[in-house]
Amino acid sequence: MTRVSLRNIGAHKLRLALTVLAVVLGTAFIAGSLMFTNMLERTFDQAVSSQFDGVDAVVSAGESGASPTLEVVSELEADGRVAAVNESGTTTVVAAKSDGTAIQTGQGASSAGIYYDVESSVAAAPEVVEGRAPEAVGEAILNSNAAEKYGVGLDEKLTVVDPAGRREYTVVGLYDDGLTQASSLGFKVSPETYNEFYTDGTTVPELTLRASEGTTDQQLVDALRGAYPEYTIDTGEAKADEASKAIKEGLSFVSYFLIAFGLVGLLVGTFLIANTFSMIVAQRTKEFALLRALGSSRRQITRSVAVEAFVVGVFGSAFGVVAGAALVAVIKAVMGANGMELPQGGLGLSTDAVVVPIVVGTAVTMLSAWAPARRAGRVQPVEAMRSSESAAPQPLTARTVAGGVLIALGVAAAAGGMAWSEGSTGNRAMLVGAAAVAVIGGAFLAGPALSLPVVPPLGRVIGAPFGAVGKLASTNTRRNPRRTSATAFALLLGIALVTVIGMLGATMKQSVADISESEVTADYVLSGPTSGAFPVPAEVPAAVDAAEGVGEVVSYSEAPVTVDGEYSYAMGTYGATPVFAGNPGDLFILDVTEGSPDLGAGTVLAPRDYAEAHGWSVGDTVTVAAPGLSQNTAEATVGGIFEPSNVVTGAVVSRDTALQVLPESALTIQVVGANGDGSVTDEQLRTNLEEVVRPFIVVQVRSTADMSGEVSGMIDQMLFILYALLSLAVVIAVLGIINTLTLSVIERRQEIGMLRAVGTQRGQVRIMIILESVQMAVFGALSGILMGLGLGWAFLTVLSDQGLESIQIPWALVATMLAGSVAVGVLAALWPAQRAAATPPLDAIAD
């Protein structure tokens, strides 16, 4: 029987290839997910290794916040147990060419760090491949790949802006460390330059030390901890382990995320594998019956099918690992082509990335084939005498009832999650998630019965222009509802997930647009880069006010001041309160219902719920202070109360009042709003604003549409990745349709031969097969869209308290998927249809 099983595999190469392909696709994504995560971990491990390799001790700020001083550096350099001391630190910057044009790094970063040459460096030092090392103050070296990308040459002078000010760099060398992306600017300067530009002149962010010969790292750390208890001191190995652990924890989400989509692909592949084995068993009824008549037992038949499944599973999973490695290579290439280069970290091959997909893929294939294998074992010897190879139709009652119960339970759970207003968002989402599982399971079980009243009428509509061939195609899809449903189900699942993700993205973008349009009143908003906490330079409001066509100008800051002893926003030990210079209503919508919206000197505004919680009314006197920064206090009056806002949720203080209790240097501007006075067009106003802020380099001019567009772009980028991952499930579904149609053509060889014998033309046979495919694809698409809309609505209703209140249906996406399902049906049927049309009539009838 083992030899029979192995010969069957070799004798049906087409069936074997289609089944193996399903397993390959199902396991490739899991393998690729594990490899991709391994690659990222190795990349970061290399970065950690290069940072701490050779480091015996690290001295950083203590619990009190005290950082190491330059005096401590001198003491350590004189310590006989210390062979070398390096300062360590990184500052986020923005670089601009000599003409004032900022270098846009896009997805990359821009930073300045400290350089030591190979002889004096504690950790691994980057290699200067062109030019020389930085020596004088203001000299810097730059990563060579970024220099090439952004056109920065040797001896070129750049303006480099950090949150505290602007500096001038002269690029005197280029280095290559293999870890810095080409999209990122990685400046390295001398310790003297870093201390002058980016420290207060007395302290440094961190120190790395190398122990002298004869002193272990732990001995050095223990000695330093006794001498400098005010600092945090650890071994380099401990810091490396801590950094690696943090990286692995951070990447665990990526790993879970990718594996989740891998399981989706494997789930769809499971249905395809099960469908394939069911059809193969149905077509081999006479073969199994003949084996039973020759003396084979039920167990032997069942075992023979299981052996075939095992072989297919092992080979398919092994090919899936290879395909997974190719998938990682493609991802790296695509990301690199779109400006998101990944550092060199190999393809992430590991024992887990090879063994896990093979074990999982083989197990899933065996489980998928178990029911068909048992069905094969129940074939009776008398079946060998039947003229048809098709299995007798099986009743649908039991699975339809079970499916209906699951769907009803799922709908009830989703409705419960939506109506449970007192429950937490997490618990309600879990309830809707359970509902999704129940509905998907119910749809699979009840699918054959649900297809009976839908697919034939749908088939008659689709086939109407093709006359008798169209009617015949509609009849064929009705004859085997199990096959029709199983084939459509894979597409149903993929399209349902795409619909849910599409609804989430459309709703997120609409919510962002609603907030921008309903909360921001300024014509243009000026701010610094989102990375690096860049403030707006203090001179910007005056420059903007002097620009042609500008009317009202208002600036927004957050300062560490309290109103009646409380910060408006508090997070741990940090607290801040919004501070405005000008009328807040010229920047954000504040619906003042009591008092006046004017925020003059000695005035405070507050949201209604905040005022009620503190017992404030218009005209009350409050105390403004800056604890920890100043002993001064100021008296202010509650001048107005406004309705709750999504942007401003606490008390608001005027800039003049804040300056009474803290120095101007502590009040950094975050946003400036500018409105036109009507004398110039909006386009001209924008041009004028961009011209006056250009010398500041870090200031961006954006409209509300720009802000919504930036966030929408980020959402689209996220959705693009999700759609790319989900497309795998759709690809598997398409292959499932090809698989089913091909096996159907094999099974119906006599029938197709008879149609050809009585005068049906080859073109008509092709059209018939294509129409059958289109019917199944459209049925799967319609079912998937309805399921996705229902589940998406339930999930978004549960998430409404997270800011997703305006639920949107992506009609364009829905229409695209419906049209795409027709194209999928046509494309999937081309090869099976050609195979059917090429069937020799007399040979088929003779068979």
What confidence score (pLDDT) does residue 389 get? Answer: 45
For 79-87, what is the mean pLDDT? 92
Q: Quick: pLDDT tens for 267-295.
A: 666 766 776 777 777 767 777 888 888 88
Instruction: Select the CATH number that applies to the domain covering 524-702 from these four: 2.40.40.20, 3.30.750.24, 3.40.50.620, 3.30.300.30.
Output: 2.40.40.20
For 465-484, what is the mean pLDDT? 84
Task: State percent of the chain over pLDDT 90.
Answer: 28
What confidence score (pLDDT) does residue 107 get? Answer: 64
Q: Where are the beta strands (DSSP E) in 125-265?
A: 127-131, 139-143, 157-162, 165-176, 185-189, 206-211, 232-235
Of the pLDDT bands very low, low, confident and very high (cuts 50, 70, 90), residue 825 is confident
Given the DSSP bridges, would you call strands 652-654 and 574-581 parallel, antiparallel or unpaired? parallel
Taking only Cα atoms into account, the Rg of the chain, rounded to an integer number of angstroms, comes to: 35
Higher-scoring residue by pLDDT: 394, 194: 194
774 and 462 Cβ atoms separated by less than 8 Å? yes
Cα separations in angstroms, 728 against 117, 584, 732, 744:
49, 50, 6, 24
Q: Does 556 score more than 80 pLDDT?
A: yes
What confidence score (pLDDT) does residue 288 get? Answer: 81
Q: Quick: pLDDT tens for 754-804.
A: 888 888 899 999 999 999 889 988 998 999 999 999 999 998 888 877 667
What confidence score (pLDDT) does residue 392 get? Answer: 46
User: Any idea where the domains of the chain sit in the sequence?
Assistant: 90-196, 448-520+704-847, 524-702
Task: State percent of the chain over pLDDT 70.
Answer: 87
Of the pLDDT bands very low, low, confident and very high (cuts 50, 70, 90), residue 390 is very low
What confidence score (pLDDT) does residue 253 get? Answer: 60
Q: What element of type H or E holds 288?
A: helix 285-293
Q: Quick: pLDDT tens for 329-340.
A: 887 777 667 655
Long-range contacts of the stretch 711-715 (C-beta < 8 A, 24+): 711/509, 711/512, 712/509, 712/512, 712/513, 715/505, 715/508, 715/509, 715/512
Those residues whose C-beta lies under 8 Å from the C-beta of residue 705, and which sit 6 or more positions away, are 516
What confidence score (pLDDT) does residue 803 get? Answer: 62
238 and 60 Cβ atoms separated by less than 8 Å? no
Of the pLDDT bands very low, low, confident and very high (cuts 50, 70, 90), residue 718 is low
Lowest mean pLDDT among 390-399, 510-519, 571-580, 705-714: 390-399
Q: Quick: pLDDT tens for 27-47.
A: 877 787 778 777 777 777 766
| Cβ neighbourhood burial of 718 (10 Å; 0-12, 13-18, 19+) | middle
Higher-scoring residue by pLDDT: 257, 805: 805
Looking up tokens 């459309």, which residue turns up?
506
What confidence score (pLDDT) does residue 128 get? Answer: 93
194 and 114 Cβ atoms separated by less than 8 Å? yes
Lowest mean pLDDT among 280-289, 446-455, 467-476, 601-610: 280-289
Q: Quick: pLDDT tens for 410-457.
A: 999 999 988 887 878 778 888 888 898 899 889 888 988 888 888 888
Cβ neighbours of 370 (radius 10 Å): 16
Average pLDDT, the chain: 83
Q: Does 265 score more than 80 pLDDT?
A: no
404 residue type, one letter = G
What confidence score (pLDDT) does residue 95 get? Answer: 92
